[in-house]
Every structure is written in C-alpha cells, then in structure tokens.
Amino acid sequence: MTETPVDGPVPRYELATWRDELGVVAGITGTGDSGTPFDLGLAQTGPAEAMLDRWGALRRAVPGFRGIVVSRQVHDIRVLWHDETSGLGIHEGFDGHATTATGLLLAVTAADCIPIYLVDPVRRAVALLHAGWRGTAAGILEAGLNQLVRRGSNVENVLVHCGVGICGSCYQVGSEVFAGCGLPAPETGRGNLDLRNVLVQQARGHGVDSVSTSPFCSKHDPGFFSHRGGHQGRMVAYLGLLR
C-alpha cells in the first residue's frame, strides 16, 4: 500500500484507500521547501513559536479533527490511551497512542524510525506507534495490539501498515541490533536490516492477517527527513477516525 501526495500548504502523504473505504485518515508529513523545511520536531533549537505554528498548520490541513496528541518519545513500548482531547496535547515518555474517539488525531514523530498504523475497522479503534530498532525489539507492536484488544478488538480484524522509514538497503547496523530483533548477525558483525520486514513478521506472529508496508525510504527517497541521511528534522505520522 502506497502513500500518495496530498495537495495543500502542508507537505504530506496519505493512504487514500483507508480514507475512502474505512473513514480513517492515515498519513505522514514531508520536508517541504528546502529553504524553510516543515520540521515538526519537539526538541528544536529554534523559536518554539515557529514549531507550534507548523503544528497548527498540520491540524488545519487535516479537517475534521478537534485535537491532536503527540509525545516526547523515548524508544520504549508505552502506549497511551486517549478518550478525549482538544487542541494540541504534548505528553512525555510514550511511543504510541490509541483511541476509539472520532475527531482525535494521533501523532508520532519520525526520521528513519518506522511509524506503525493499526486500524480495527470493526471495533472502530486505532493505534499509532513509533518503532526504532529498540522499540521493535522490546515489543512496541505487541503493546499497541494489546491496547486495542483490551478495548474489545480482535487481532484478526486489525489492519497494520508499516509506514515511511529507512529501508533495509540503507540501514546498516551492528550485531547487537540483529540480536535484539531476534535475528542472527552477519559473520562480519555488521549488515543491512529491513526493520519493516521484522515488524511484518512480528505482526503475523501475533495473528494479524492484513499487513502492508510503504515503498518509501526516508533516506534515499526525496521529500523526507532522515537522521542517517543527514537531513535533520522530524516528520509527523498521523492517524485518526473521521467517523
């Protein structure tokens, strides 16, 4: 499944199929103009007003949502449940969010890490996760699924999409990363790891029937921030129920 560009003042890409068929908005922002990049990172050294203005622009660009929630992420597996919010809610220490509330936009920041979108179209529940290798190894995907299951979802109904992030060809890591993800390390001790493929296998192992991945790489495809690619800044992946 492929994210497609959305026209408008905010550079962003969305899964049009989910919007049309499920009433779910799922997308990610891009870098925008190189002269004034659309950086949504929460730990910027520049004026806070400019960063908050960009968050406001994102909220206005996605109509139908009265609130948006995000957290300062710590590469852990804590997933925060939300019943209601308005405006911009910034939390501390969570790497995922989940809700059954319509009109509430979940958000995670990313710049090579994988945003994982979870949608239960039967229960009308969604979760959005931030997965670097540490979160992947520790079980962030399972934690997100558990949040939905505790609120009445069946895993077989959940759709999982592993979004825009660094691809296996661009992600070279050491033996500790392979070990953390439950994979044998290359003989040389370093090698290329496809983090999205690891997450796909995890999802299937937990009983998810429908898993898809983005074709975009944050490092080698233009239009995205990449820590490893030297294009500093943060995109925001977002997910919410329209109805």
Instruction: Give percent of the chain above pLDDT 70.
Output: 98
Which of 12-16, 129-133, 183-187, 196-200 is predicted least confidently? 183-187
Which of 38-42, 105-109, 154-158, 233-237 is predicted least confidently? 38-42
Residues in the chain: 243
Buried residues in 205-219 as b, exposed as e (16+ CB within 10 A) = ebebeebbbbebbbb
Chain segment 200-223, per-residue pLDDT in tens = 999 999 999 999 999 999 999 999
Chain segment 168-203, per-residue pLDDT in tens = 999 999 999 999 999 998 988 899 999 999 999 999
Query: Residue 42 has which token pair?
Result: 């929460």
Query: For the chain, how are helix, strand and coil distributed in percent, rounded to 5?
Result: 25, 35, 45
Residue 27 has pLDDT above 90, yes or no: yes
Which positions ≥6 away from 198 have C-beta within 8 Å?
136, 181, 182, 183
Four-residue CA torsion sign, 51, 53, 59, 62: negative
Q: Tell me the domains of the chain and their CATH numbers.
A: 4-241 (3.60.140.10)
Which positions ≥6 away from 91 have C-beta within 8 Å?
69, 70, 71, 72, 80
Chain segment 81-108, per-residue pLDDT in tens = 999 888 889 999 999 999 999 999 999 9
Chain segment 57-82, per-residue pLDDT in tens = 999 999 999 999 999 999 999 999 99
Indicate the pLDDT class of residue 119, thresholds 50, 70 and 90: very high
Residue from 105, 162, 160, 159 nearest 132 by CA: 162
What is the chain's mean pLDDT, rounded? 94
- Helix and strand element counts for the chain (H, E): 6, 15
DSSP string, 156-173: GG-EEEE-SB--TTT-EE
Could you tell me the pTM of the whole model?
0.96
